[in-house]
Amino acid sequence: MNRQAQAVILLLLGGAVIRASVTDLYLRYVKEGLRPFLIAAGLLLVAAAIMTLWYELRPAAPRALAPAGGAPAGGSGSGHDDHDGHGHAHHEPRVGWLLILPVLGLLLVAPPALGSYAAGQAGTALSSQQQSDYPPLPEGDPVQVSVLDYASRALFDRGTSIGDRRVQLTGFIATGGDGEPILARMVLSCCAADGRPVKLGLTGDVPAGLPDDTWVEVTGRYSDRLGRDPVNDAEIPYLEVESWRQVPAPKRPYD
Amino acid sequence: MEVLAALLIVLIIFREPIAAALDDPRIQTWTTVFVSIMVQAVPFLVFGVLLSAVIAVFVPRSFWARALPRHPALAVPAASAAGVVLPGCECGAVPIAGSLIRRGVTPAAALAFLLAAPAVNPIVLTATAVAFPNNPEMVLARGVASLIVAMIMGWLWLRLGRTEWIRMPRRPELDDASRGRAFWAAVRHDVTHAGGFLVLGAMAAASINVLVPERWLQTLADNAWLSILALALLAVLLSLCSEADAFVAASLSQFSLTSRLVFLVVGPMVDLKLISMQAGVFGRRFAFRFAPTTFVVALLVAVGAGAVLL
């Protein structure tokens, strides 16, 4: 892998990272707070590429320390590696070509955010310890809450702080352990590799006949029914659905 | 260049089958996890590389001789402590440790830094405190155990390590008369080099993430010793960022606190992407000795710390 090829790879990687972070694409993979760092890192990669090309393509300036002709056995590499007199063609990392994969992943494939498949693989994240006193719900009828917030209140506070308020939450449809549709939302702490699902069982006017990964906005009330996640044997709270409607996938797919 | 052109042609020809394959939920999840590990790691990698290029080009050798205690055995705890104040994740620590060794820092101290920096820094400890609100002793146990492991590994290297195991590639461009040229050459080289190995590690970690369903773990959680071993191996295989692993550990609630502490101590020190990057930066002979030893030491120290503190 010669230096110009490395420069092109760095340019592509930097460009792909910048593009992902100025659009909302990066929100599918990492937390929102990483954005400034992504942009800075992308700019630095582009700068490294430009500086490499600049030093490579500039009319060769005399090099004080170049051991001209003293190249090791690998010196008969390609012309680009030779002309600077170092001739260490075999030491240029070929493994760098692999960096083309994340570039293709970001520019061509742009895989979707984690969905029902990942949710089915992992146990509901609420088995972790939570506080036990919750502040009252904000104003509004129905009041907008996140799946995570509803599930923690329903589970650890047995719905006391929800009372008989109407709540509205958004998540995607996945298939629960008993084949019934459940409402799920992934939570991230760093990147999608540590994404864990929060799962809610549905009773009442259950959205039926929707394929997995369909995003819905459901309105309903607290239900004291509890289920179990077959994956990690943790409790899954339920929601008594009064109405629901299909919605497009939100810009921030994770809670 | 030719490789790039060929790749583009192949992509255009096989567009349809590739698109069909990407619709499979497993492959889709794999791609999502792979891309997100890379996106998450890129800033840490770039800033780590930048710092390592500064060390390699601008910080004179004499600085390290003055900054670290003369005796290597004392340099080890000093370097571990230096790791504590530098918030970073493991992807950035590898190139930094590499250029420390290149600049004449004793490998024992550089390795202690390599292990301590991602495991015990303010961000990671805060994340641990947030993830375990009811067990603040977890933060203490994690910090203490990780520091002890870093220092033991440094001292072990002084006793048993051989310099010839570390085979760092020759880097003539670092001695370039022009500082600017040397700096950018170091950045270019380290990003493509360490980054390439990071891709390998991320692919392995994404495969594990998709192929090993969590329900397999359920059966292991009931046996105290088996669960410790299982979570230690899981930490190696999942290759989570050290800033995130506490939240995953918190969600593995069917496991004992001690086994989850093992997960948190082993993960930032030995995992697939680290082994891959260490093999690239320090050479394979080094990585294949260093990683298993670190694994065993981290496992034992974490179990000990769990017995005393949790």
B1: in domain: no
pLDDT reported for residue B293: 96
pLDDT reported for residue A179: 84
Q: Are residues A241 and A195 in the same domain?
A: yes
pLDDT reported for residue B149: 95
B60: in domain: yes
pLDDT reported for residue B295: 96
Q: Which of A6, A55, A194 sits opposite B244 (nearest CB)?
A: A194
For an interface test with A, give the residue of B200, B219, B251, B256 to mutate (most A CBs within 10 A).
B251
Q: Hey, is the C-beta of B254 within 8 angstroms of any chain A C-beta?
A: yes
Q: Render pLDDT for B148-204 as a digit per residue (tens, 0 to 9).
A: 999 999 999 999 988 888 887 777 777 776 888 889 988 898 888 888 888 887 888
| β-sheet bridge partners, residue B246 | none
The shortest C-alpha distance from B223 to chain A (Å) reads: 16
Q: Render pLDDT for B242-287 as a digit per residue (tens, 0 to 9).
A: 877 887 787 777 788 999 999 999 999 998 888 988 998 898 899 9
Q: Render pLDDT for B14-41 as a digit per residue (tens, 0 to 9).
A: 877 877 877 788 889 999 989 988 898 8
pLDDT reported for residue B186: 86
Task: Tell me the chain B residues in contact with residue A4 when contact means C-beta distances shorter than 8 Å.
Answer: 1
Q: Are residues A150 and A170 in the same domain?
A: yes
Q: Which of A40, A93, A232 sits opposite B192 (nearest CB)?
A: A93
Q: Are residues A123 and A99 in the same domain?
A: no
pLDDT reported for residue A58: 80
Q: Are residues A136 and A22 in the same domain?
A: no
Tell me if A111 and B31 make a contact (CB, 8 A cut-off): yes
Interface of B with A in 156-195 (CB under 8 A): 169-173, 175-177, 180-181, 184-185, 187-189, 191-193, 195
A252: in domain: no
Tell me if A121 and B127 make a contact (CB, 8 A cut-off): no
**Who contacts A96 (Cβ-Cβ below 8 Å, separation ≥6)?**
A1, A6, A9, B192, B193, B195, B196
Q: Render pLDDT for A191-242 as a digit per residue (tens, 0 to 9).
A: 888 888 999 999 999 988 899 999 999 999 999 899 988 887 788 999 999 9
Range of B249's domain?
35-162+176-309
Tell me if B195 and A96 make a contact (CB, 8 A cut-off): yes
Task: Tell me the chain A residues in contact with residue B207 when contact means C-beta distances shorter than 8 Å.
Answer: none
Range of A38's domain?
3-111
| Boundary (domain end) residue, out of A111, A139, A159 | A111
| Boundary (domain end) residue, out of A66, A87, A111 | A111
Six-digit token string for B199: 């891709």
Give the distance, in angstroms, between the CA of residue B178 and the centroid of all CA atoms in the same chain: 32
- Report the alpha-carbon distance of residue A61 to residue B93 in Å, rounded: 34
Q: Which of A101, A129, A193 sits opposite B33 (nearest CB)?
A: A193
B277: in domain: yes
Contact indicator for A241, A207 with CB cutoff of 8 Å:
yes
B70: in domain: yes
CA distances from A30 to A43, A47, A195, B210, B237 (A): 18, 24, 10, 18, 20
Interface of B with A in 85-144 (CB under 8 A): 127, 131-135
Q: Are residues A236 and A124 in the same domain?
A: yes
Q: Which residue has the tokens 């890192």?
A: A41
The shortest C-alpha distance from B204 to chain A (Å) reads: 12
Q: Are residues A97 and A140 in the same domain?
A: no
Tell me if A26 and B135 make a contact (CB, 8 A cut-off): no
Tell me if A131 and B133 make a contact (CB, 8 A cut-off): yes
Q: Residue A144, SS3?
A: strand
Per-residue pLDDT band for B119 (boundaries 50, 70, 90) equals confident
pLDDT reported for residue A74: 37
**Who contacts B265 (Cβ-Cβ below 8 Å, separation ≥6)?**
B119, B142, B145, B146, B149, B298, B299, B301, B302, B305
Q: Which of A44, A65, A117 sits opposite B176 (nearest CB)?
A: A65
Tell me if A34 and B205 make a contact (CB, 8 A cut-off): no
This prediction's pTM: 0.81
Q: Are residues A88 and A124 in the same domain?
A: no
- Measured from the Cβ of residue A129, the count of other Cβ atoms closer than 10 Å reads 14
Cα torsion angle, A159, A160, A163, A165, sign: negative
Q: Render pLDDT for B61-84 as a digit per residue (tens, 0 to 9).
A: 788 878 888 888 898 998 888 877
Of the candidates B63, B114, B74, the residue with the CA atom closest to the CA atom of residue B90: B114
Q: Are residues A103 and A214 in the same domain?
A: no
Q: Are residues A58 and A153 in the same domain?
A: no
Per-residue pLDDT band for B239 (boundaries 50, 70, 90) equals confident
pLDDT reported for residue A220: 94
pLDDT reported for residue A79: 37
Q: Calculate the average pLDDT of chain B.
A: 86
A255: in domain: no
Q: Are residues A95 and A138 in the same domain?
A: no
pLDDT reported for residue A59: 65
For an interface test with A, give the residue of B51, B192, B222 to mutate (most A CBs within 10 A).
B192
Q: Are residues A102 and A182 in the same domain?
A: no
Nearest residue on chain B to A17, alpha-carbon basis: B39
| Number of structural domains in chain B | 1
pLDDT reported for residue A92: 63
Nearest residue on chain A to B208, alpha-carbon basis: A193
pLDDT reported for residue A183: 94
- Read off the pLDDT of each residue in B89-106 and give the average, rounded to a whole number: 84
A254: in domain: no
- Report the alpha-carbon distance of residue B285 to residue B297 in Å, rounded: 19
Task: Tell me the chain B residues in contact with residue A255 when contact means C-beta distances shorter than 8 Å.
Answer: none
The shortest C-alpha distance from A218 to chain B (Å) reads: 25
| Boundary (domain end) residue, out of A111, A140, A158 | A111
Tell me if A52 and B184 make a contact (CB, 8 A cut-off): yes
Q: Hey, is the C-beta of B267 within 8 angstroms of any chain A C-beta?
A: no
DSSP letter at A170 equals E
Residues in chain A with pLDDT values less than 50: 63-90
Nearest residue on chain B to A49, alpha-carbon basis: B188
| Number of structural domains in chain A | 2
Strand A167-175 to A235-246 pairing: unpaired
Q: What is the CATH number of the domain that holds A233?
A: 2.40.50
B224: in domain: yes
Six-digit token string for B123: 């961000």
Task: Tell me the chain B residues in contact with residue A65 when contact means C-beta distances shorter than 8 Å.
Answer: 172, 175-177
The shortest C-alpha distance from B183 to chain A (Å) reads: 10
Tell me if A44 and B197 make a contact (CB, 8 A cut-off): no
The shortest C-alpha distance from B160 to chain A (Å) reads: 29
The shortest C-alpha distance from A14 to chain B (Å) reads: 9
The shortest C-alpha distance from B184 to chain A (Å) reads: 6
Q: Which of A49, A102, A190 sits opposite B38 (nearest CB)?
A: A102
Per-residue pLDDT band for B222 (boundaries 50, 70, 90) equals confident
DSSP letter at A106 equals I
Q: Are residues A89 and A19 in the same domain?
A: yes
A253: in domain: no
Task: Tell me the chain B residues in contact with residue A232 when contact means C-beta distances shorter than 8 Å.
Answer: 214-215, 218, 253-254
B152: in domain: yes
For an interface test with A, give the residue of B24, B39, B281 to mutate (most A CBs within 10 A).
B39
Half-sphere exposure of B273 (CA within 13 A, CB side): 32
B261: in domain: yes
